[in-house]
Amino acid sequence: MAQSQTPARVGSNGTRHLWIAFLVMAGFFMVAPLAIYPVFLMKVMCFALFACAFNLLIGYGGLLSFGHAMFLGTAGYVSAHAAKVWGFNPEFAILAGTVASCALSVVTGFLAIKRQGIYFAMITLALAQMMFFFYLQAPFTGGEDGIQAVPRGVLFGLFDLHDVTNMYVLVLVIFLASFLAIWRIVTSPFGQILKAIRENEDRATSLGYDTDHYKHLAFILSGTLSGLAGAVKALVFQLASLTDVHWSMSGEVVLMTLVGGLGTLFGPVVGAAIIITMQNYLAQLGAWVTVVQGVIFVICVLSFRRGIVGELSSIIRKPL
Amino acid sequence: MEIFGIPTAALFGQLLIGLINGSFYALLSLGLAVIFGLLNIINFAHGALYMMGAFIAYLLLNKLGLGYWWALVISPIVVGAVGVLIERTMLSRLYKLDHLYGLLLTFGIALIIQGLFRNEYGSSGLPYAMPDVFRGGMNLGFMFLPNYRAWVVVASLVTCLTTWFVIERTKLGSYLRAATENPALVQSFGINVPRMITLTFAFGVGLAAFAGVMAAPIYQVSPQMGADLIIVVFAVVVIGGMGSIMGSIVTGFGLGLIEGLTKVFYPEASNTVIFVIMAIVLLVRPAGLFGTQK
């Protein structure tokens, strides 16, 4: 019964509207810098990637992580440190940050998947808080100041990233490539098993799947891609700070995904764009931003659980 | 006098602070456990409601001139009423859904409450005057014990043990435990389970407000006071497992003491020790010290 609704069907007919949506999205981000401030767009793309990576875990694996800021922040700190202190080229700085987050997700994922549901959320939150205190005290992070004036460097020794166009193209390429990778993961046999575990873990086990192994792998993929987002973000803003490891950042990525639509391909991108835009316009209101975010949380949970893209996809009766 | 090269006064001083923190961990994790037992929801707003409890005490004293004892009674009632409102208007719509939605909803509520208080009172802490009765302290010979801190530990212990007694040893508690096991069956015996759920939630958040009032004279009253605390309490809950009431009390006090000891012997780790213990417990006994794995 549920089969007819799953986006599992592979083939030109089943995915054509997804490709159209993808081209619209790619086209938008290619043309938009003509009209919109590029740094703002780069911020949106970084958070969109972060939210897509987070969605991989909750939307397809059914695991709600409340500590994803630790991957964003860790990669940010490591790539900023690598670029500034060790003098790494940007490609290696990004790689170093991503690898660091990957390693962190191997360890934290191993611990977190020992429990499910609400406990999983609490454990990831607690582990992220531990990382927060670690970065607060560690000497290389600069404490409250963070790592400032991170050099963007020259990509592959050819493209000077201090030029906004070069930086923009790099972010765009990384974002689109990661999006395609996530899309591929979701529709792969691995993604299908992940969905099976989300729907009924006991049955997946009885079919012979080592569910812990799959959940761990999903956690690592999600953490690593979140790390990639954090590493790129550190270069874009030339800053790595405590904001990115704080629990409120973990909450924000949950909110973005929820607003856009849990378990939809394009939802996290739409959600990230909306939340970032909102923060931009409400920035002068100070603490009201928190209140507004809380209200959106409450409304989404009570009466808008499918999110924007989820609602759209139920209107056109096709997965998005 | 020295033990392991640490002056005893410093050692016992930190242990006392640990015991105080443990009192708050115990009260908050107890409330979370009681709520979780019946509603299957982890209340993310628990820290915000604890903060609200402290603020109500502050407002009662500075706007209405009502002192500490009044606050100790009124604040839990007011916050309990807020709890009834939250449960009736919002949480009760989510019981048929995945329990994670309850977590997301209460997270949103926590953001709203914290944001509103920060708008009104700013981020800096407000002092709450120590009640006159508790000024001064006793010299125990090996350490100086401030009266108020002794009171916090005793009051918290008594509250926790009373709660344990009511839930585990009285008729009312047996209804509660029965409803935790099988709400439909208990309802069929003519007990109003939805009302019991509402009152349980109100009681749980009332405990948080009670803790908030007791915290007001020790810590500064500030909008952020609950946010960081609740994350530590989550770790405490994971360590203890939410299966047992006594378990959350023992874990709360125990972890407070361990944190105090860490401050003496290795201060750098005092912020993180509870999270490290959580990681170890997850490796050794994933269900938690007092929990049972489903």
Encoded tokens for A160: 């000077």
Searching chain B, which residue's CA lies closest to the CA of residue A299? B105
Searching chain B, which residue's CA lies closest to the CA of residue A64? B100
pLDDT attached to residue B293: 55
Q: Does A111 touch chain B (CB under 8 A)?
A: yes
pLDDT in tens, A71-92: 999 999 999 999 988 988 899 9
Which of chain B's residues have a Cβ under 8 Å away from the Cβ of A300? 104, 108
Q: Does A250 touch chain B (CB under 8 A)?
A: no
Q: Does A253 touch chain B (CB under 8 A)?
A: no
Å from B27 to nearest chain A CA?
A: 18
3-state secondary structure chain B: CEECCEEHHHHHHHHHHHHHHHHHHHHHHHHHHHHHHHHCCCCCCHHHHHHHHHHHHHHHHHHHCCCHHHHHHHHHHHHHHHHHHHHHHCHHHCCCCCCHHHHHHHHHHHHHHHHHHHHHHCCCCECCCCCHHHCCEEECCCCEEEHHHHHHHHHHHHHHHHHHHHHHHCHHHHHHHHHHHCHHHHHHCCCCHHHHHHHHHHHHHHHHHHHHHHHCCCCCECCCHHHHHHHHHHHHHHHHCCCCHHHHHHHHHHHHHHHHHHHHHCHHHCCCHHHHHHHHHHHHCCCCCCCCCC
Give DSSP secondary structure letters for A112-151. HTTS-HHHHHHHHHHHHHHHHHHHHH-GGGTTTT-B-S--
More confident residue, B38 or B230: B230
pLDDT beyond 50 at B85: yes
pLDDT attached to residue B176: 87
Q: A160 by DSSP, 3-state: which?
A: strand
**Residue with the two structure tokens 């920060």:** B118
Query: What one-character DSSP code corresponds to residue A4?
Result: G
Q: How confident is the model at residue A58 (pLDDT cuts 50, 70, 90)?
A: very high
pLDDT beyond 50 at B19: yes
pLDDT attached to residue A172: 95
* Nearest beta carbon to residue A119 from set B112, B238, B276: B238
Asked if A254 and A117 count as a contact pair (C-beta separation under 8 A), the reply is no
Asked if B151 and B134 count as a contact pair (C-beta separation under 8 A), the reply is yes
Give the residue from B107, B114, B27 showing the smallest Cα distance to A67.
B107
pLDDT in tens, B266-284: 888 888 899 999 989 888 8
Q: Does A144 touch chain B (CB under 8 A)?
A: no
pLDDT attached to residue B133: 80
More confident residue, B130 or A127: A127
Q: Mean pLDDT throughout A168-176?
A: 94
* Nearest beta carbon to residue B272 from set A117, A134, A305: A134
Which of chain A's residues have a Cβ under 8 Å away from the Cβ of B103? 64, 66, 118, 121
Which of chain A's residues have a Cβ under 8 Å away from the Cβ of B109? 294, 298
B275 and A127 within 8 Å at the Cβ level: the answer is yes
Low-confidence winner among B12-16, B55-59, B111-115, B250-254 (lowest mean pLDDT):
B12-16
Q: Mean pLDDT throughout B183-202?
A: 90
pLDDT beyond 60 at B294: no
pLDDT attached to residue A8: 45
For residue B245, the one-letter residue type is I
pLDDT attached to residue A158: 80
Which residues is A32 bridged to in the sheet? none
Instruction: Give CA–CA dist B56/B107, Å, rounded.
Output: 21
More confident residue, A38 or B6: A38
Q: Mean pLDDT throughout A214-233?
A: 95
Q: Mean pLDDT throughout B33-59?
A: 92
Q: What is the pTM of this model?
A: 0.90
Domain boundaries along the sequence of chain A:
12-246
B111 and A297 within 8 Å at the Cβ level: the answer is yes
pLDDT attached to residue B247: 87
Burial class (CB in 10 A: 0-12, 13-18, 19+), B229: buried
Task: Share the mean pLDDT of chain B.
Answer: 89
Å from B63 to nearest chain A CA?
A: 24
Q: In Å, what is the CA distance from A185 to each residue of A98, A189, B161, B274? A: 18, 8, 51, 36
Q: How confident is the model at residue B264 (pLDDT cuts 50, 70, 90)?
A: confident
Domain boundaries along the sequence of chain B:
11-284
pLDDT in tens, B177-186: 888 888 889 8
pLDDT beyond 60 at A13: no
pLDDT beyond 50 at A10: no
pLDDT attached to residue A2: 38
ipTM: 0.88
Q: Which CATH architecture has domain B11-284?
A: Orthogonal Bundle (1.10)
Q: Mean pLDDT throughout A31-35?
A: 87
pLDDT attached to residue A182: 95
pLDDT in tens, A96-112: 999 999 999 999 999 99
